[in-house]
Amino acid sequence: MKSLYDFMVKPVGNEYDNEVAVGDKKIILNTKIESFKFVNNIAEVIEVPTAYETPIKKGDLIVIHHNVFRTFYDMKGVKKKSRSSFVDGLYFCALDQVYLYKRNNKWNSINNRCFIKPLKIKDGLEVVKEQKLIGILKIGNSSLEALGINEGDTVGYTPNGEYDFIVEEQRLYCMKSNDIVIKYENQGNEVEYNPSWASCSWGIN
């Protein structure tokens, strides 16, 4: 069974990440299917598209858009799976819904995207802990490398182009390469910022 244009994927775990383990207990974090924040976005690739080639292979783990596994209620109040749902727990996933793929235990970006880890404000008295529009490039791509911008560099980015992903308990900002507009000299005292709630779940965005 093959798909021409879409990946065929299945969720790693359940469609929703609603629980977190605390000791030998499980705490329910969310009971509303309408909330996208607790939709699982980690998938295993079951089949790759046949109409074009990508670096993603069968069996890879990928980070995908939350709408792929999302459940909703229709106008009549009937619970429905997303339009991506296929059969037997499988889902279709378009290439533009894929953000990362994992190879050799390393996450790699796709579609000219990159991922930034925000920096912590050094003044501990500030209510807001995170510096604005600056961070460490954690997952780059060949387009940025061609410009001399590599993983580990401190970069500045334009506002409103970033959006949150939680990847292995780390909050990262996903954006397009052309949202990166400044490369700073690393001072050696940069402190990455990860909010405490990011470690409460894995793979939500």
* Statement: residue 190 has pLDDT above 80: yes
Structural domain boundaries, residue 104: 7-108
Q: Residue 1 falls within a domain, yes or no? A: no
146 or 126, greater pLDDT: 146
Domain containing residue 160: CATH number: 2.30.33.40
Q: Is the pLDDT of residue 82 over 80?
A: yes
The domain boundary, picked from 73, 108, 143, lies at 108
pLDDT band at 79 (very low <50, low <70, confident <90, very high): confident
Taking the CB of residue 3, how many other CB atoms lie within 10 A of it? 17
Picking from 108, 133, 148, the residue at the C-terminal end of a domain is 108
- Please check whether residue 167 lies inside any domain of the structure: yes
Residue 57 maps to a domain: yes
> pLDDT tens digits for 112-138?
999 999 999 877 666 678 999 999 999
Query: How many domains, the chain?
Result: 2
In whole angstroms, give the CA distance from residue 56 to residue 108: 10
Task: Give the number of other Cβ atoms within 10 Å of residue 100's Cβ.
Answer: 25
Q: What is the structure's pLDDT at 29?
A: 62
Question: Are residues 11 and 100 both part of a single domain?
Answer: yes
Which of 52, 74, 108 marks a domain boundary?
A: 108
Of the candidates 182, 186, 125, the one whose C-alpha atom is nearest the C-alpha of residue 159 is 182
| 88 and 122, same domain (yes or no) | no
